Amino acid sequence: MYRIRFMLVLFLVAITMTACTRTLSPEEQQQVADLQAELERVRADITSAETANAKLAGGLVKALIEARLEILKTTEALIQQRIHAIEAGVPIEMTMTGTNPDPELAARLAEEMTKLEADLAAARAEAAKYSGGLIAAVTNATVATHEQTLAMLRQQYVAAKYGLAVPTISLQNTGATTPATVPTSVDPASIPSDMLPSDVRKEIISVRLLDKRFDDTNIQEYIWFDIEFTAAGLDKPARAIKGKLILQDLFGEPQMYIGWTINEPLQPGQVFVEKGSGFRFNRFRKEDQWVLATSLNDMTASFAVESILYTDGTRRDFDPLP
C-alpha cells in the first residue's frame, strides 16, 4: 500500500514538472470540479479517521481504522493523479494504468453506499448509547467495520465513475469484510479477547464496596465484605461469572487480587448485592495488612472477568490476568 502511494506521488511530481498551461474544455472543467469534491470528501474522512485512531492504543477497532486509513489515502492519491493528468493533458500510462469509466457500475455502487451510510448512522447511534464495557467494544467495532467497508466502496465508486485503476488491497488480520459480506452486527464471542480494549474485562461488572469488617471471633481470622455488583457491560444474560475482585487504593493501583465467582444469574444492567463474603486473613501478608488497615472510604474495587457462562449455554473466556 505504501509503495502504491509512493509511485503515485512520483507520478504527480512528473506531471507537475512536465505540464504546460492549457485551457480545459467545459467537460474537463466539470470533471475536475467533481473530482475536487470527491477529494475534499476523502480528505475529511482521513482527518476524522486519524483523529479516532490517535485516541486508541490498540485492539480490533484501531486495526480496522488503520486499514481504512490506508484505503482512504490510496483513494486520495488516485484522485489527485487523475486531476493532475486532466489538467496537464497527460494520459495515465505509468504504474497505475487507467480504465474506462463504468457509469452503470458507479450507479450501483452509489446505491450501495447510500444504504451503507444509513446502516452506519444507525450503528453510530447505537454505539453512542454506551461509554464502556463489552457492548461498547462490540458496537464500536461494528461502526469501524461499516466505515472501512464504506471507504472501500467509495474507492471502487471513484474508480468506476472516473476510470481509475484501483489496486487489489489485502487486509489480513483486521477483521475486515468485503462489501458483499459486511455484517450488520458483531457477535461478542467472535472477537478474540486480545483484540478487545485492554480494560474491557473490568467494565463488564462494576463494583462498589458497601461494608468491610474484621472477624476474629473464632480461631481463624477473616475479612468480610458487602459488595454491590452491577452488570453494566454484560452483553446478554449470564448464569455465572468468574474472575478476580481487585482491591485498589484511591489512585486505582491494585493492592490485592481475590478469586471470585458470582453465582447469581445476572441480566445486563442488573444490580446484585452480595453480603458476608471475603477471605481468610493472614497477618504475615502485606496485602492482607493493607486491606485491614485501610478505611473503606480510601479503598476502591474493580472486577476482572475471566469467564462468563451465559444462560443460553454459550461461554466466553478471557485470557488470564498477567
Domain boundary residue, one of 154, 169, 184: 169
Domain that holds residue 105: 2-169
Same domain, 96 and 52: yes
Q: How far apart are alpha carbons 69 and 236 in whole angstroms?
A: 33
Does residue 186 form part of some domain? Answer: no
**Is position 178 within any domain?**
no
The count of domains in the chain is 2
Same domain, 165 and 294: no
Q: Is 118 inside any structural domain? A: yes
Per-residue pLDDT at 198? 43
Residues 22 and 129 in one domain: yes
Residue 207 sits in the same domain as residue 260? yes
Residues 77 and 153 in one domain: yes
Asked whether residue 11 falls in the same domain as residue 67, the answer is yes
Do 211 and 136 belong together in one domain? no
Q: What is the pTM of this model?
A: 0.45
* DSSP summary character for residue 141: H
Q: Which residues of the chain have pLDDT under 70?
A: 1-22, 60, 89-100, 131-134, 164-200, 320-322
What's the pLDDT score for residue 35?
86
Q: What per-residue confidence (pLDDT) applies to 138?
A: 75
**274: in domain:** yes
Point out the domain boundary residue: 145, 169, 193. 169
Same domain, 162 and 285: no
Torsion angle of C-alpha atoms 170, 173, 176, 180, degrees rounded to 10: 70
In the chain, DSSP finds a helix count (H) and a strand count (E) of 6, 7
- pLDDT, one tens digit per residue, over 121-162 is 888 888 888 766 667 777 777 888 888 888 878 888 887 887
Cα–Cα distance list, 37 to 89, 95, 174, 274 (Å): 20, 25, 30, 60
Give domain status of residue 153, yes or no.
yes
CA nearest to 267, candidates 312, 317, 231: 231
Residues 227 and 158 in one domain: no
Is there a single domain that holds both residue 144 and residue 11?
yes
Domain boundary among 114, 149, 169: 169
Residues 150 and 8 occupy one common structural domain: yes
Residue 309 within any structural domain of the chain: yes
**Whether residues 119 and 214 fall in one domain:** no
